Amino acid sequence: MCATRLMECLERYEPNDEMRRAALGAKAAANLPPLYETLKPMAVVIASPLLAQFAANVAPKYDPSCGAQRYALREGLGIAAPREGFWKPLGNVTGSLSIDDKLWLLLDCLPHYLGRGEDIDYVPPALAALLRSSGDSGWDETGVLPRAIAVVKEKLPDLVEERETQVLATDLACRDFLADALGSATLSEAAAKGDAFISWMESQDKFALKEFLEERKEYRERAEEQADAAKLDPEAAAKAKEEKRAAGEVEAMLNAIMAAKDAKDAEEKK
């Protein structure tokens, strides 16, 4: 299942470069075994298809040798106790999100830890700015997410569910703020980018924001409709067959990696 999901992700990342896609696929496949070691405890609380999709999305941008990213993944999943620097207050601000919403938020946060070695106390400035404009812990009304949520509430006061408010604010922040603030050297630099993002949000009328929300809410329905349509389309059927073949190659690669790992573990136990 994860192999199929991985091929879908690689197709989105590198749709026109087969060699680049193959190289990225090999790297992602090599990352999956250690990634699954971390994800294994979550199998009892997260459905297998969702966990497979999450793993496939994480793998291309995951570095198992980066202790900071590994620990961030554990904290974000709740395997390690979330701390006040980032993950605990993030959970407080986004408490109404569903499990899958939180997984996609975690997915957007993880790349910010790449290159930080074993510094598990490091909080990337862009992520800190989601919650505050100064300080080392907690959250307040100056954070990008609290401000984005406030804008949504002001412009769309008729939203009944708090989850919808948080989903819209979080999705827009991840898409437009986090991508722009990636690599910010300081919290003040990231916070300035946050100010620009909030100004953009405030410039949107309620109809634009509602359209963003509807796109998010209807994602699953559209995906199902597209899947049904694909069954009737010969070209789509041929593409699906090729994707299945490619997924089989990735799965074989994964099996070889896992077999080598098992053999190494068995040898070390002797």
**Token pair 């699954």: residue:** 36
Residues 181 and 208 in one domain: yes
Alpha helices in the chain (DSSP H): 2-13, 18-39, 48-58, 67-77, 87-93, 99-109, 125-131, 144-155, 162-172, 179-181, 187-203, 206-217, 219-231, 234-269
Residues 150 and 46 in one domain: no
Structure tokens at 250: 């990735």
Residues 215 and 151 in one domain: yes
Looking at the 3D structure of the chain, how many domains does it have?
3
Residues 97 and 120 in one domain: yes
Residues 116 and 171 in one domain: yes
Print the domain residue range for 182.
Answer: 83-231
Residues 113 and 207 in one domain: yes
CA distance 263 to 258: 9
In a domain, 134, yes or no: yes
In a domain, 73, yes or no: no
In a domain, 78, yes or no: no
State residue 224's pLDDT score.
Answer: 47
Residues 219 and 256 in one domain: no
In a domain, 19, yes or no: yes
Residues 222 and 101 in one domain: yes
In a domain, 69, yes or no: no
Residues 13 and 105 in one domain: no
| Entry pTM | 0.75
In a domain, 72, yes or no: no
In a domain, 210, yes or no: yes
Last residue of a domain, one of 62, 92, 109: 62
The answer for residues whose C-beta is within 8 angstroms of residue 14's C-beta and 6 or more apart is 20, 21, 24
Residues 218 and 242 in one domain: no
State residue 3's pLDDT score.
Answer: 44
CA distance 5 to 58: 11
Residues 100 and 29 in one domain: no
> Residues 136, 142, 147, 149: is their CA dihedral positive or negative?
positive
Residues 198 and 213 in one domain: yes
In a domain, 110, yes or no: yes
pLDDT by residue, tens only, the chain of 270 residues:
444 444 455 455 555 556 655 555 666 677 788 888 899 899 888 888 888 888 888 888 899 999 999 999 999 999 999 999 999 999 999 999 999 899 999 999 999 999 999 999 999 999 999 999 999 999 999 999 999 999 999 999 998 899 999 999 999 999 999 999 999 999 999 999 999 999 999 999 999 999 998 887 776 555 445 445 544 455 555 555 555 555 555 556 655 666 666 677 777 776
